[in-house]
Amino acid sequence: MRVSEQLTKTLREVPHDSEGGNQELLVRGGFIRQLTSGVYSYLPLGNRVIRKISQIVREEMDRAGGQEISMPVIQPKDMWDRQPASGPSRTEAMGDVLFKLKDRKGRDMVLLRVREFIMKDLYSFDADAEGMDVSYRKMANAYRAIFTRSGLRFIVIQADSGAIGGKASQEFIAITEAGEDDAMICDRCDYAANREKAEFVRTEFEREPEETLEEVYTPNCMSISDLAVFLNIPESRAMKTVCYVAGGRMVLAVVRGDLEINEVKLSNTLYHEGVNAADLHLATAEELVRDGIVAGFTSPLNKDEYVLIVDDPSLKLGNNFVAGANRVDYHFKNVNYLRDFRVDVWEDIASAYDGSTCVRCGGTLHAVRGSEVGHIFKLGTKYSELFDATYLDAEGVAHPILMGCYGIGVGRIMATAVEQSHDEKGIIWPFSIAPYHVALVGLDLEKEENRQAAEQLYADLNTAGVEVLYDDRTETAGVKFNDADLIGLPIRAVVSKRSLKNGGIELKLRSQKESRIVPLTEAVQVIRNEIRQGIAESV
């Protein structure tokens, strides 16, 4: 492709609606264009990247025995409304991430997801749990192959199944500071989990003899740390009680003062207890007043009428806690379970933190930021029971099918690849997903000799099947080099008066600083070798 004939140009200015990071580089490089907030067109360069990634995904899915189908975006709403006897319908559970609309005949339809994105989904169907496990492992391996081949640095973590549900789930997280996901990774074993899901060992402290409950005046103690300083106790000696409302009921969630409540764990706990947690939210001032709770000074004492959820490991490892007295500026000391308060549910509802202890090996968990590029689930029979999807065994008896589901965000791979691999000048594409492999930069083209050399190399590279973007414009060297760096093709080949005088073309990898001169007669072969090596390195 000649740059002079390309549909799009690079942008020298940062667009006014730039979101920074990979989005800005992709927009400035002419890969994508924003149509409206969060909605993009893929321009020729971006479209090539997406097609390269799609091809990697397709090859690995084919290799793993996948069979490709494509389904409509718009579907009858009633398909989404089949539901178990109780609980919210799926259109309700999905909330406003589903577009709802009517077709010409007035039938209710839904349009999958609010924002358009390109993704690959795969479903596995097995007769038993062992088969499901085999399919799941096969897909986990295929996913590793896909992200590796796409040049991503990623980790695989235990994840929460969320609204999709099921028995087990793993996320593939591309590591990047700009990511929106938090993962905890052990520095000793291979335990890694989403922060929403991560388990950890609570630190212990010495149990004391149980002492008498005592109400104390605690002025100006608006936080656990205020309280700890005022009473000269470690924060882990305080009880942290947070009031939520879910399904119309007041829920008191309690953890030790040195920990934070994890709303995803809390929500899952509520679901398991049969409470609809779809509308889980911090209790409002009105809701607190209605239920006679004093904000900032709550505790589980004398709260039998509410749902009490308590973080099991943290509050069983200690006693004589300090807890709110439900009266402004007063707390109880020496609060003890059984004697002073009762609990509905003991469950892990606290968030792991950077430096917490691994439940598997006692190593240390570290927080890592990243971006989810894939997610796999063992669904079990959740959906097959809902939709009566059964198979007949050898005796002709029907059983529900065991399902798995597996999703990859194709556009997300492009975005995180850029996020992981760029410098201040622009993108540095991995060979495997680069839109072209070679930026052929022709300089001093007004001289027939130089133009002929550049045109000949362009023709030779095309003949050899090398994907090359040839900058044949009448622009300065500075403009052309800046554009080449911004677009970020892995190999830059310069044909100029100077390079020819020095004996050939000037070859440089985008990822390196040094260039070298390669004789014109060897250029095609050297470039093909660089490409072969570059692609091989990511596999």
Task: Tell me if 245 contacts its own copies by CB under 8 A.
Answer: no
Q: Least distance in Å: CB of 411 to its own copies?
A: 10
Taking the least distance from each CB to its own copies, the nearer of 400 and 435 is 435
Q: Least distance in Å: CB of 38 to its own copies?
A: 9
CB 477 within 8 A of CB 484: no
Task: Work out which of 70, 86, 212, 463 binds its own copies, going by CB under 8 A.
Answer: 70
CB 82 within 8 A of CB 389: no
Task: Work out which of 11, 111, 216, 231 binds its own copies, going by CB under 8 A.
Answer: 111
DSSP 163: G
Taking the least distance from each CB to its own copies, the nearer of 103 and 190 is 103
Task: Tell me if 387 contacts its own copies by CB under 8 A.
Answer: no
Task: Tell me if 68 contacts its own copies by CB under 8 A.
Answer: yes
Nearest to 215 by CA among 231, 236, 229, 228: 231
Site map (CB under 8 A) of its own copies, residues 42-61, x = contact = xxx--xx-x-----------
Nearest to 300 by CA among 228, 240, 219, 231: 240
How many CB atoms sit inside 10 A of residue 245's CB? 17
Q: What token pair was written down for 524?
A: 């095609």
Size of the site for its own copies (CB under 8 A): 36
Q: What token pair was written down for 329?
A: 């500026």
CA 2 vs CA 103, 123, 427: distances in Å: 44, 42, 20
Q: Tell me the torsion sign for CA atoms 386, 389, 392, 393.
A: negative
Taking the least distance from each CB to its own copies, the nearer of 74 and 459 is 74
Task: Tell me if 7 contacts its own copies by CB under 8 A.
Answer: yes
Task: Tell me if 389 contacts its own copies by CB under 8 A.
Answer: no
Q: What token pair was written down for 9?
A: 């140009």
Per CB under 8 A, the segment of 5-13, 149-157, 193-201, 322-330 that binds its own copies is 5-13
Task: Work out which of 67, 220, 474, 521 binds its own copies, going by CB under 8 A.
Answer: 67
Q: Least distance in Å: CB of 250 to its own copies?
A: 29
Q: What token pair was written down for 448?
A: 């027939």
Per CB under 8 A, the segment of 35-43, 83-91, 288-296, 418-426 that binds its own copies is 35-43
Task: Work out which of 4, 9, 12, 41 binds its own copies, going by CB under 8 A.
Answer: 41
Q: Least distance in Å: CB of 379 to its own copies?
A: 17
Q: Least distance in Å: CB of 312 to its own copies?
A: 38
| Residue-wise DSSP of 340-390 | TB--SEEE--B---TTPBPTTTS-BEEEEEEEEEEEEEEEETHHHHHTT-E
Task: Work out which of 72, 248, 465, 478 binds its own copies, going by CB under 8 A.
Answer: 72
Residues 304-363 that bind its own copies (CB under 8 A): none
Per CB under 8 A, the segment of 110-118, 213-221, 332-340, 479-487 that binds its own copies is 110-118
- The CA distance from 390 to 397, in Å, is 9
Q: How far is CA 42 from the centre of its chain?
A: 21
Task: Tell me if 107 contacts its own copies by CB under 8 A.
Answer: yes
Q: Least distance in Å: CB of 535 to its own copies?
A: 21
Q: Least distance in Å: CB of 50 to its own copies?
A: 7
Taking the least distance from each CB to its own copies, the nearer of 469 and 500 is 469
- The CA distance from 486 to 441, in Å, is 14
Task: Tell me if 129 contacts its own copies by CB under 8 A.
Answer: no
- The CA distance from 263 to 8, in Å, is 45
Residues 435-494 that bind its own copies (CB under 8 A): none
- Beta bridge partners, 300, equal none
Task: Tell me if 69 contacts its own copies by CB under 8 A.
Answer: yes
Q: Least distance in Å: CB of 97 to its own copies?
A: 8
Q: Least distance in Å: CB of 75 to its own copies?
A: 6
Q: Least distance in Å: CB of 441 to its own copies?
A: 20
Task: Tell me if 106 contacts its own copies by CB under 8 A.
Answer: no
Q: Least distance in Å: CB of 70 to its own copies?
A: 5
Task: Work out which of 17, 81, 84, 99 binds its own copies, going by CB under 8 A.
Answer: 99
- The CA distance from 479 to 243, in Å, is 59
Nearest to 379 by CA among 408, 405, 407, 406: 405
Mapping DSSP to helix (H, G, I), strand (E, B) and coil, where does residue 189 land? coil
Taking the least distance from each CB to its own copies, the nearer of 135 and 450 is 135
Strand ranges for 387-467 from DSSP E: 390-392, 398-400, 402-409, 422-423, 426-427, 438-442
Task: Tell me if 390 contacts its own copies by CB under 8 A.
Answer: no
Task: Work out which of 13, 16, 71, 395 binds its own copies, going by CB under 8 A.
Answer: 71
Task: Work out which of 40, 136, 191, 406 binds its own copies, going by CB under 8 A.
Answer: 40
Nearest to 204 by CA among 345, 333, 319, 361: 319
Q: What token pair was written down for 157?
A: 């973590």
CB 46 within 8 A of CB 429: no
Task: Tell me if 388 contacts its own copies by CB under 8 A.
Answer: no
- The CA distance from 44 to 26, in Å, is 12
Amino acid at 38: G
Nearest to 503 by CA among 514, 527, 519, 492: 519
Q: What token pair was written down for 54?
A: 């799609």
Taking the least distance from each CB to its own copies, the nearer of 55 and 89 is 55
Task: Tell me if 114 contacts its own copies by CB under 8 A.
Answer: yes
State the residues that interact with its own copies by CB under 8 A.
1, 5-7, 35-36, 39-44, 47-48, 50, 65, 67-76, 96, 99-101, 103-104, 107, 111, 114, 116
